[in-house]
Amino acid sequence: MQRGRQRHKFESAFFVLLAIILGALVLVVHMAKRLFEETATVARLDGIDDIARISILAAMLVGTAFLFGLFLYYPLVREQVREDERLRAMADALSERSESMELAALTDGLTGLKNRRFFDEALREYIDAFRSVGRSVGLVMIDLDHFKSINDRFGHDIGDEVLRTVAYRLAGLARHHDVVARLGGEEFALIVPNLNYDQLVSLVETMRISLAGSPVSCARGQVAVTASFGLALWNGSERAGDLYRRTDRLLYAAKNTGRNCVCA
């Protein structure tokens, strides 16, 4: 739309220029006629030929400029405008494709959540940004309990459906600025900024209860799903990798404790 308006403005300006040249031509002819009549009136016949020649020459020059602009310059410039539009459209298409590829590179193809690459970068950025302002960053790691048995019993297609449903529920319970990611397999993670310990535990308990209390409906029946949760708050000084490893240990403590629980 914007390119169309730009082309319309250019063409309008060009035709205005041609109208000005044409007007100048008419004016030259008119002035030449008046000068010719005035010269004849005062009997200065010896200058008539010179004035006529100058007038004709001026008219020819203006007319030549008009024809040059209309038949030579205008087609060239119009083609250049079209070429610029084609190049601009190509650049826009490449930019959109690049953005789509970048989005795909940061998104889990199965669940639509953010992937491990995005999660790692986001965790580092949150910690770097919050280090100077003293705000909290919570990390939650989630592992579905006995997921292998779900695949073995119902098949991998049902297992994929379970993963998609779990992802949907986790994303629905998270806040809009939380980062919900699938790290791989049956493992998920959340980055939760600006919550204290009690608030973080409450959020995670809500997620655990939601998963355990709502079996996944599929073509082969109801699939019970529970998960183990490990959560930790950033201590204000540790690096992203240190926080990740600490939370991962808490996740495995939850699995070793009996699963379907939260360890913080």
Instruction: Give tens-digit pLDDT for 69-119.
Output: 666 666 766 777 776 676 676 566 655 665 555 666 889 999 999 999 999
More confident position, 34 or 161? 161
| 37 in active site | no
Q: Taking a C-beta distance cutoff of 8 angstroms, is the pair 195, 136 a contact? A: yes
pLDDT at 126 over 70: yes
Indicate which residue of 186, 187, 205, 238 is catalytic. 186
What is the biggest distance separating any 2 CA atoms in the chain, rounded to whole angstroms?
A: 123
Q: What is the CATH number of domain 116-263?
A: 3.30.70.270
What integer best gives the mean pLDDT of the chain? Answer: 81
- Report residue 213 as tokens: 């209390």
Average pLDDT of the segment spanning 197-213: 96
**pLDDT number for residue 40:** 53
pLDDT at 1 over 60: no
**pLDDT number for residue 9:** 56
**pLDDT number for residue 105:** 80
Q: Cite the DSSP H helix spans in 174-258.
A: 197-213, 240-257
Cα separation of 232 and 234, whole Å? 7
Cα separation of 241 and 234, whole Å? 11
Cβ neighbours of 96 (radius 10 Å): 10
pLDDT at 204 over 70: yes
pLDDT in tens, 183-203: 999 999 999 999 999 999 999
- Report residue 153 as tokens: 């019993």
CA atoms 23, 26, 29, 34: torsion sign: negative
Q: Which of 105, 107, 118, 116 is nearest to 188 (CA)?
A: 116
More confident position, 33 or 48? 33
pTM of the predicted model over 0.75: no
Instruction: Tell me which range, 39-48, 58-67, 245-254, is most confidently predicted by mean pLDDT.
Output: 245-254
Average pLDDT of the segment spanning 218-234: 93
Structural element, H or E, at residue 22: helix 2-41
Q: Which residues pair with 142 in a beta bridge?
A: 188, 229
> What ranges do the domains of the chain cover?
2-105, 116-263
pLDDT at 51 over 60: no
**pLDDT number for residue 99:** 57
pLDDT in tens, 14-37: 666 666 666 666 666 666 666 656
Average pLDDT of the segment spanning 152-159: 93
**Mapping DSSP to helix (H, G, I), strand (E, B) and coil, where does residue 232 land?**
strand
Q: Which of 230, 154, 146 is nearest to 188 (CA)?
A: 230
**pLDDT number for residue 130:** 87
pLDDT at 230 over 90: yes
**pLDDT number for residue 58:** 64
